[in-house]
Homo-oligomer: A and B are copies of this chain.
Amino acid sequence: MADHVDLVLEQWRARRPDIDPSPMGVIGRLSRLSALFDAELRRNFAKYELDRASFDVLATLRRSNAEHSLTPAGLMHSSMVTSGAISQRLDRLETRGLVTRTPSETDGRGVQVTLTAKGLKLIDKVLPTHVDTEAQLLSGLSTPERDHLAALLRTLLESLGDKRD
C-alpha cells in the first residue's frame, strides 16, 4: 500500500540521502488531504450557490449565539483571514440579503453582523448536507481511528498555541 506521498519520500531519499524527509510524511499528507477535502466540500456548497468563504461566515454566525450575531472582528478571529477579507465577504453576503450590518449602539466604530431570516434558512438547509459530505470523506476510517486522528490533531494544534477563543 502506498500513496502519492510515499513516492515523493522515496524520490527524496534517492536524490538527497543526506536529508531525512520524514516530516513531509505528515505535513505533505495533511496539506494534500486538506486540498482534496476543500474541493469536495466546494462541490456541495455550489449546489446552494455558496462558496467556502460565505459558508464560513454564515455558519459562524449560526452557531455563535441565539441572536446569530457577531462583530466583524469576531468573525475574523474565527476564520483565520484578514479584516479586509471579512469586509469583502460581508459586502457580498449583505448584497444577497443573507446578513445585515448594524452600527453598534455603544461604540461608534463598531458594527454588528446578523443573519437575516433568509440567511438563517439557507445555512440551516446547507448544514446537514455539509456534515454528511464530511462524514463521507472520512468513511475510510473506523470510528476509533477517527477519534484517534482527531486527538492527535488536537495535540498538534495545542502545541502550536491554538486557543479556544
Contact = CB atoms under 8 A, between A and B. Distances in A.
Contacts of A27: 37, 134, 137-138
Give the interface centre of A11, A24, A131, A141 by most chain B CB atoms within 10 Å.
Answer: A131
A63 B2 CA distance: 18
Q: Interface residues of A toward B: which range?
A: 35 or more
19 contacts: A1-B158, A3-B163, A4-B162, A4-B163, A5-B154, A6-B164, A16-B63, A19-B127, A23-B134, A25-B146, A26-B150, A29-B157, A30-B33, A31-B38, A32-B80, A33-B160, A140-B159, A141-B159, A149-B149
Given A4-B165, A26-B134, A32-B80, 20 more contacts: A3-B164, A5-B154, A5-B157, A7-B164, A7-B165, A11-B64, A14-B63, A15-B63, A16-B63, A16-B127, A20-B131, A22-B146, A23-B134, A26-B153, A29-B157, A33-B160, A137-B160, A141-B152, A149-B152, A149-B156
Interface of A: 1-8, 11-12, 14-16, 19-27, 29-38, 62-64, 66, 78, 80, 127-128, 131, 134-135, 137-141, 145-146, 148-150, 152-160, 162-165
